[in-house]
Amino acid sequence: MMFQRESASVIKRLASLYPVVGITGPRQSGKTTLAKLLFPHLPYVSLENYDIRLQAQEDPRSFLSLYRQGAIFDEVQHTPILLSYLQGIVDEDPVNGRYVVTGSQNFALTSSIAQSLPGRIGMVTLLPLSLFEINQQQSPQQAIFRGGYPGLYQRHMHPLDFYPSYIQTYVERDVRQLKNVENLGRFQTFLKLCAGRIGQLVNFSSLAQDAGISHTTAREWLTILEASYLVFTLQPFYRNFNKRLMKMPKLYFYDTGLASSLLGLEKEEQVETHYLKGPLFENLMVLEIMKGRVNQGMPSNLYFWRDRTGHEVDLIGEWGGQLHAMEIKYSATFQKAYTSNLHYLMHLCEEPPKSSIAGYLIYTGNQEGKIHDVTLTPMTKIHEQILITPAS
């Protein structure tokens, strides 16, 4: 089973503009498969292979001389020194689309790139499959429980057979590479605690206390999870509004199947009765918007909004010259109360300085249309209603 990846056209476009294309994203999000598919003429070199990696590290000049015509260098974060030498090669002969580098570490890779290949590389982030890319009829429970890793669908695997080994491999390999975490058991506990806080404001003191670690260690470990594309934080939006607002970010996972596994869910039906059903659905929808933006080669520009009087809007998108305010509800029926915070924010936007704003209620029902200036958006209609043809 092959999936049409939305970002394929963006990657091809960048290859026509830059000598190097960089594809980052979580392990097993499909980076290698897509790179091979889009650049079949380039030799493939895996820097996960210890012998190849050793050769690249010890004599990068000789190593790259084997690939003067170009190559796909997979998991290049293992040998960041290669990027410095690539700069010299592409400066001598700047042929666009000559090299493709992939990496599953965010900060580690981009810091190397910032130093080595400024202005010479076009960057793309490839996240797990969006619901739009999967293009299968799925219930909200199914979508949350299964997540979006391509291998799970291609090999027709049950999430219980996929995610525990994914987590174990990640903890034993990537965590050790990013930072020498001595107590891996405690790190796994920390990871599970993060899953229990999906959609909540990040509270390092609480996380540290529950994990039995210091406040500083909790910050370091969250940075590790962000750097390896397991979790991300959504920053608060506070432009133009004078109310006292929350300054702490909210915590989400890059894949709800992974989060479900960490929460101990064993069947999709268990999502329906789980105490985090709402936050998990919220996470799924935040991801769908984020993937839609990133897959178009655009910055996600996503935030949340909350003031100290209890008003909150789950998601704020800022693009196309306006704000897109989104309330997310795990409910198949519309209730008027769902839109009260949206209307509150939309009213604030009418005050000087005015902001153009469109409101959406993303939910599990099927009804479409507008109710009091808020667009009802079923989870299957996000792409066409919000990402492709945003309300004007």
Average pLDDT of the segment spanning 280-299: 97
Cα distance between residue 341 and residue 329, in whole Å: 13
pLDDT of residue 239: 67
* Extended strands (E) in the chain: 20-24, 44-46, 71-74, 99-103, 121-125, 231-236, 250-253, 302-306, 312-319, 322-329, 357-363, 369-371, 374-378
Cα distance between residue 30 and residue 149, in whole Å: 8
Beta bridge partners of 317: 302, 324
Residue range 323-371, pLDDT digits in tens: 999 999 999 999 999 999 999 999 988 877 778 999 999 999 999 999 9
Q: What does the mean pLDDT of the chain come to?
A: 92
pLDDT of residue 242: 56
pLDDT of residue 391: 38
Structure tokens at 238: 């506070």
What is the percent of the chain where pLDDT is above 70? 96
Query: Residue 240: is its pLDDT beyond 70?
Result: no
pLDDT of residue 334: 92
Average pLDDT of the segment spanning 7-21: 97
Where do the CATH 3.40.50.300 domains begin and end in the chain? 8-125
CATH topology of domain 292-388: Trna Endonuclease; Chain: A, domain 1 (3.40.1350)
User: Burial letters for 103-118: b for 16+ Cβ neighbours within 10 Å, e otherwise?
Assistant: bbbbebbbebbeebbe
pLDDT of residue 245: 64
Average pLDDT of the segment spanning 85-92: 93
As its CATH architecture, domain 8-125 has 3-Layer(aba) Sandwich (3.40)
Residue range 32-76, pLDDT digits in tens: 999 999 999 999 999 999 999 999 999 999 999 999 999 999 999
Alpha helices in 74-149 (DSSP H): 81-92, 106-116, 131-134, 140-146
Model confidence at 310, pLDDT cuts 50, 70, 90, reads confident
pLDDT of residue 107: 67
Of residues 375 and 239, more confidently modeled: 375
Where do the CATH 3.40.1350 domains begin and end in the chain? 292-388
Cα distance between residue 194 and residue 197, in whole Å: 5
Residue range 367-387, pLDDT digits in tens: 999 998 999 999 999 999 998
Residue range 160-218, pLDDT digits in tens: 999 999 999 888 787 877 777 878 889 999 999 999 999 999 999 999 999 999 999 99
Model confidence at 92, pLDDT cuts 50, 70, 90, reads very high
Cα distance between residue 235 and residue 244, in whole Å: 15
Residue range 120-148, pLDDT digits in tens: 999 999 999 999 999 999 999 999 999 99
Is the distance from CB of 162 to CB of 302 less than 8 angstroms?
no
Give burial (CB, 10 Å; 0-12/13-18/19+) of 335: exposed
Cα distance between residue 373 and residue 327, in whole Å: 13
Kindly report the CA angle at 75 between 148 and 51, in degrees rounded to 5?
Answer: 135
Structure tokens at 127: 């996240």
Global pTM value: 0.94
Structure tokens at 108: 């580690």
